[in-house]
Chain A
């Protein structure tokens, strides 16, 4: 961003410059007045809550008794004593890493489809974007029904095909299955976003470069790995990091799909923080849990920024 916003030279309007130096003409004043409302709003409703979120971690605030008292590290100790916290911390990382790998690979495949020309393209685009544009709580409800313990059509198909002995898999009721289900939903809903981001990259590749390689006899895969992927790498990285952030910080999929079940084994930091902080009313503990999201977010933000910078210098 920075390199492009160097201050323009003071524009001189020779004929009327002295006559009209009104407020509406002073760039410094306008720059300031245009930006202040946004800055004030963000400081008040993001900056202040962010500081509060840290402050609550060291407090005894509960929903029932919202008065602030310093509690030192009590909340941290109580959170760390709970095995569910460690489980949810581990889940958060596992979900994020596994989802990210699938999101990048499938997103890349999907991006190639979205930029291609073929009949019926609009209906494919529409169907492919559905997972991402649908409110996450609602699409997760569809999945919950798709993976229902008794009425799942997947179970029925597998059973009828003779692939599973028993009638039911209990996707959401067993430990590895429930974890896989959560990952599947994340991948499913974020692949379209990754694909759209990568599509932007594909469209920005100069056509002649691809054609030159084609004339030189490079095949599809060779062009893919030696031209397309290296040239669009920054956007692939951005897509991967956005996928990671949205998986890492999401509470809705786990809250709706598994509610942390079976026996709190599928909780992630965000859903566990909600359970403690809102359902349980213990704001202090909830705040401690949510705080663990921050270091990872900061790392992802810095990486995205570096990728964007690289993109602009290309």
Chain B
């Protein structure tokens, strides 16, 4: 995007130099303009949420108030209410521990499976990789009815544990797929060297591959956690008691009493969940992408 300086040969005329300088300036300016517009469009609903969450009722609901400004002093009462008088903390806790349990299951199943497919090549490992990819594309909306019956049959309906059992069906295929990519980016010589040094194949896997794969695993953890926190359909189908709900179903159902929406609390809850997840995700975005590209280049 940015014009690299120093490319123009010294004999380039002044006029041409000015031409390039102008082109460079236009490029920079349009980049900033487009970036700001994009950021605004993406964040606009959340900006509106943030403003709503901190407005008094007398500010929010009279229709002759300008909705884009604070007509009365901002308040944090509604955010406090969310924590003291609603089940929001319970929803957050449920989402957290379900997410962590699912992530643990995902790694335990996914890392060995990915290693088996990427490294311990057998005749069936190619088709197996493709099969896992296809499983990832099977959506909850196709399976939720039969999984609901299955959950009832397992005696887990209306329990958060049902999500711990079922969510890995979403995270394991995609994580395995990602881990295969990360594994391909690791040079094979490392574990071969370890085996020459006397480790068994299993030992080489545990002592050289797993530590080297660690950055990839962290990316997978973040990704899998985000997926479980976002899931809506299974959580809605399996669980109805308030205290067993997770954030995505709890907030969207329990903070709406009949036709009465607690708008400030709803928006506060939405933001309080959105911002930390996006923040953590951002920390790992670069690693994510480098993993992908390494896989694509070396694969």
Interface residues of A (CB under 8 A from B): 1-2, 4-8, 11, 13, 16, 20, 22, 24-28, 30-35, 37-39, 41-42, 45-46, 48-50, 52-53, 56, 61, 66, 109-110, 112-113, 115-118, 120, 122-131, 133-143, 145-146, 150-151, 153, 156-157, 167, 188, 191-192, 196, 199-200, 203-204, 211, 214-215, 219-220, 245, 249-252, 255-256, 269-270, 273-274, 277-278, 283, 286-287, 290-291, 293-294, 297, 300-301, 304-305, 311-312
Contacts and interface: CB of A to CB of B under 8 A. Distances in A.
B84 interface: no
Interface in B134-153: 134-135, 137-150, 152
4 closest cross-chain pairs (CB), A and B = A2-B126, A249-B139, A52-B146, A31-B120
B243 to A, nearest CB: 18
A8 B121 CA distance: 7
A124 B39 contact: yes
Given A5-B118, A156-B66, A283-B149, A293 B142 contact: yes
Given A127-B40, A136-B230, A196-B288, 9 more contacts: A24-B202, A42-B172, A42-B173, A49-B147, A56-B146, A145-B266, A256-B252, A293-B139, A304-B137
A2 B282 contact: no
8 contacts: A45-B168, A138-B252, A139-B46, A151-B67, A196-B289, A204-B293, A290-B144, A312-B299
B27 A220 contact: yes
Given A113-B35, A151-B61, A273 B42 contact: no
B122 A7 contact: yes
Contact of A203 (B34, B109, B195, B289): B289
A273 B145 contact: yes
B112 A127 contact: no
B128 interface: yes
Given A11-B195, A116-B31, A250 B141 contact: yes
B128 A35 contact: yes
A112 B1 contact: yes
B137 A300 contact: yes
B43 A118 contact: no
B113 A290 contact: no
Interface in B213-266: 226, 229-233, 236-237, 247-249, 251-252, 261, 263, 266
Contacts of B137: 245, 297, 300-301, 304
B80 interface: no
B25 interface: no
B117 interface: yes
Nearest to B122: A31
Interface in B148-202: 148-150, 152, 165-166, 168-169, 172-173, 176, 180, 184, 188, 192, 195-196, 198, 200-202
B29 to A, nearest CB: 11
Contacts of B32: 118
Interface string B271-298: 0011101110110010011001100110
Contact of B42 (A16, A122, A128): A128
B169 A45 contact: yes
A129 B278 contact: yes
B169 to A, nearest CB: 5
A42 B145 contact: no
B208 interface: no
Interface in B1-47: 1-4, 7, 23, 27-28, 31-32, 34-36, 38-46
B269 interface: yes
Contacts of A5: 117-118, 121, 125-126, 129
B130 A1 contact: yes
Most buried by B among A191, A219, A301: A301
A138 B149 contact: no
A1 to B, nearest CB: 4
A200 B296 contact: yes
Given A41-B172, A128-B42, A245-B137, A135 B273 contact: yes
B74 interface: no
Contacts of A219: 23
A38 B176 contact: yes
Contacts of B110: 38
B11 to A, nearest CB: 14
A146 B195 CA distance: 60
A1 B173 CA distance: 15
B63 interface: yes
Contacts of A46: 135, 138, 143, 169
A7 B282 CA distance: 37
Interface string B62-88: 010011100000000000000000000
Given A5-B129, A49-B150, A134-B277, A127 B39 contact: yes
B67 A156 contact: yes
Contacts of B115: 34
B133 A305 contact: yes
Contacts of A30: 116, 120, 201-202, 205
